[in-house]
Amino acid sequence: MKRTITHLADGRELIYFDRRDDADRGAIDRRPLDPRPVASELRYDPLTEEWIAVAGHRQTRTFMPPADECPLCPSSDTRASEIPAHDYDVVVFENRFPSFSMNLGTYGDVGGLSEVRPGVGRCEVVCFTSDHSSSFSRLSDAQVELVMEAWADRTAELSAIDGVEQVFCFENRGEEIGITLTHPHGQIYAYPYVTPRTRLQLGAAARHAARHGGNLFADVLAAERAAGTRVVAANELWTAFVPAAARWPYEVHVYPHRQVPDLAALTEEERAAFAPLYTSVLRALDGMFGVAMPYVASWHQAPVRQQRELGYLHLELFSIRRAPGKLKYLAGSESAMGAFVNDVLPEEAARLLRSQVDH
């Protein structure tokens, strides 16, 4: 793999990940771009003990442009995009409209009981392929491995930034999910705090370790593999299963069989084994109702500086489609109280997904 670092016209970093060592990455971004926005501000909610990012500059971000104006496609002789090269394998660059960044501004007291501090961190865009009409499910195994190399590289690099507490790699896919660009891509958030869901999971893991002496995530994986009824797909190094208490109509968790804290800790063999299993699960989702399923795919990694021994890298994938022509919207119970009601029995979801997995 060849890794090439360059910069866009406004100073943002862009990194090419190429399979070929002779790839020419000398193209220059000559666009007249506005100055980069200052970082968001974080406001603390004393009632939930959570940090909320306020990033007004994101109101102006690009929204659903036509294909011939896609900012994630390669540049051409007649149109400049976010990627100066005329072709690429995998590209990562700093988001033009970041929720977190190191470009700090001035942050004052807002009154009340809410503490305010700068939204230190970094947000990056990961372009999985230069093919605008493709999807992650259609990537070759070699291309998925290259994406994983990029994820691992960025996880290690972003974890070293002062003030970053957690690195989150994810993909949103489908208009129903709320995407703003249709090109196959994901994002990486380097948070200045440990996220609420991770804090909940690690708290449960700490209590489980105190009571039983084992790792909670490893024990969940072992129990699901032993039960088998919710396992969707598996190979020697990974297992994909529907969790027993799934929140979403079609939800799949993908675990490596070895406990590792993050993507950077995976072996080459583990990355290679992930590719065919994961894309088969994505294709199974698409095969459920004969339409491209909207989904969120999120990598759960251990925090950078605390409780890493409790963490267990895994991917959580879910779709909001519950039936042909029907979506699961977060209603009052879910949105207001965080109390989920799932319309699909997890065992039935697993059975249906198994029937669609490539054999």
CA-CA distances (angstroms) from residue 43 to 31, 54, 115, 357?
A: 34, 7, 6, 44
Number of domains in the chain: 2
Task: Give the pLDDT band (50/70/90) at residue 276.
Answer: very high
Quickly list DSSP for 200-244. Answer: HHHHHHHHHHHHHSS-HHHHHHHHHHHH-TTEEEE-SSEEEE--T
Q: H or E segment at 250? A: strand 250-256
Give the pLDDT score at 60.
80
Residue 243: pLDDT band by 50, 70, 90 thresholds? very high
Mean pLDDT of 239-260: 98
Q: What is the pLDDT of residues 129-150, one digit of tens each?
A: 999 999 999 999 999 999 999 9
22 & 100 share domain? yes
Tokens 């771009």 — which residue? 33
For residues 328-356, average pLDDT: 94
Phi and psi at 279, nearest 5°, equal: -65, -30
CB proximity list for 174: less than 8 A, separation 6 or greater:
292, 293, 294, 295
266 and 248 in a common domain: yes
Shared-domain flag, residues 215 and 109: no
Measured between alpha carbons, how far is 44 from 26 in angstroms, rounded to an integer? 44
C-alpha 234/C-alpha 229 separation (Å) is 13
Res. 112: pLDDT tops 60: yes
Evaluate if pTM is beyond 0.85. yes
Within a 10 A sphere around the Cβ of 157, how many other Cβ atoms?
19
Same domain, 233 and 303: yes
Confidence of residue 2 (pLDDT cuts 50, 70, 90): very high
Q: Which of 7, 57, 185, 257 is catalytic?
A: 185
* One domain, residues 283 and 331: yes
The answer to whether 277 and 233 have CB atoms below 8 angstroms apart is yes
For residue range 44-101, what is the model confidence (pLDDT) as tens digits? 999 999 999 998 888 888 889 999 999 999 999 999 999 999 999 999 999 999 999 9
Find out whether 225 and 239 touch, Cβ atoms under 8 Å.
Answer: yes
For the chain, the helix, strand and coil percentages under 3-state DSSP, each to the nearest 5: 30, 25, 45
160/235 same-domain check? no
Note the pLDDT tens digit of each residue in 283-300.
Answer: 999 999 999 999 999 999
Range with lowest mean pLDDT among 91-95, 122-126, 165-169, 328-332: 328-332
Q: Are residues 111 and 253 in the same domain?
A: no
Secondary structure (3-state) at 284: helix
Among 153, 170, 195, the domain-final residue is: 195
- Range(s) of the domain holding residue 103: 2-195
Checking if the pLDDT of 107 tops 80, the result is yes
Q: Are residues 38 and 178 in the same domain?
A: yes
* pLDDT value of residue 359: 54
Select from 129, 162, 195 the last residue of a domain. Answer: 195
Q: Do residue 221 and residue 188 come from a single domain?
A: no
Query: In this predicted structure, what is the pLDDT of residue 149?
Result: 98
For this structure, is 185 an active site residue?
A: yes
- Where does a domain end: 195, 225, 244? 195
Show the tokens assigned to 108. Answer: 């004052």
pLDDT for residue 288 = 93
User: Domain check: are 89 and 119 in the same one?
Assistant: yes
Is 68 in the same domain as 141?
yes
What DSSP designation does 276 have? H
For every residue of 113-160, DSSP letters joined together read: T--EEE--SEEEEEE--S-TT--GGGS-HHHHHHHHHHHHHHHHHHHT
Query: What distances in angstroms separate CA 250 from CA 208, 228, 253, 293, 350, one per listed residue?
Result: 27, 17, 10, 10, 8
155 plus 239 within the same structural domain:
no
Q: How far apart are CA 173 and CA 177, in angstroms?
A: 6
Please report, for the domain that includes residue 51, its CATH number.
Answer: 3.30.428.10
